[in-house]
Amino acid sequence: MDVRMFTVGPVQENSYLLRREGATEALLVDPGDEAPRLLGTIDALGVDLKAILLTHCHFDHIGAVAPVARATGAPVYCPRGEVGILQDIMAYVPWPGFGPFESWDPEHTVSGGETLHLAGLEIEVVSTPGHSPDHVTYALAGEAPPLLFSGDVLFQSSVGRTDLPGADHATLMASIAVLLDRFDDETVVHPGHMGLTTLGRERASNPFLSELTGS
């Protein structure tokens, strides 16, 4: 797999461009900001962007959706319960000084349980609410190693914040428990902030997971 991480915007959000090594089709996960940078890489690689996948609709994960979708023609897959946020982004930006961001009407919705076949990849959509009401994680379980694009559910030695509207700590921990139960320790976690990690590393050392792991 060829996975390229772009840390973008004032909140330092991670966007991911992924494809099979050398493939001409690619996917983009959570284009949060800096559309010219993302589009420049897509153009430089000469790839056809087949879809934009959103884990959730906080502004730092969707700020570049509209310009990237318009420029590439790629359809947007949005968590069903958060479509209204994508359609009216600035109404949901809680702090001054961010944006302006352009809203977008997504072409597809997901809610967990779907299997997507895009750009030659098989992607499981896993419902992982808690940080946001309808957050999802995208899993490429058939790869070696398996990959998770976890948005703001799980980080290196941390977890997603639950002090935002619609968030809930117990729900978030239940979502993380689902990921730990379903996927192997070598699964590489591509989070929405900070660096890459693995489920095994977080199971063993993440202090926020002690209530799940008994450590």
188 strand-pairing partners: 147, 198
The amino acid that residue 55 corresponds to is T
Average model confidence (pLDDT) across the chain = 95
The architecture CATH gives domain 2-213: 4-Layer Sandwich (3.60)
Query: How confident is the model over 153-203, as pLDDT tens digits?
Result: 999 999 999 998 899 999 999 999 999 999 999 999 999 999 999 999 999
Per domain, the residue ranges of the chain are 2-213
Greater pLDDT, 215 or 4 = 4
Of 100-104, 126-130, 209-213, least confident by mean pLDDT is 209-213
pLDDT of the residue at 44: 97
pLDDT of the residue at 213: 66
Task: List, for residues 134-152, the tens digit of each pLDDT value.
Answer: 999 999 989 989 999 999 9
- If we measure between CA atoms, which residue out of 50, 48, 51 comes closest to residue 30? 51
Percent of the chain past pLDDT 70, that is, above it, reads: 99
Q: For the residues 96-114, what does the mean pLDDT come to?
A: 95
Which of residues 40 and 215 earns the better pLDDT score? Answer: 40
Residue 19 to residue 157: CA distance in whole angstroms: 28
Angle 81-73-99 from CA coordinates, rounded to 5°: 60
- Residue 215's pLDDT is what? 53
Element (H, E) at 212: helix 210-213
Residues 9-21 have a mean pLDDT of 97
Tens digit of each residue's pLDDT (9 = 90 or more) over 201-215: 999 999 999 877 665
Q: Positive or negative, the Cα torsion across 15, 122, 78, 189?
A: negative
Q: Is the pLDDT of residue 77 over 60?
A: yes
Q: How far is CA 136 from the centre of its chain?
A: 8
* Predicted pLDDT at 99: 86
Per-residue confidence band for 95, with pLDDT thresholds at 50, 70 and 90: confident
Contact 115, 138 (CB under 8 A): no
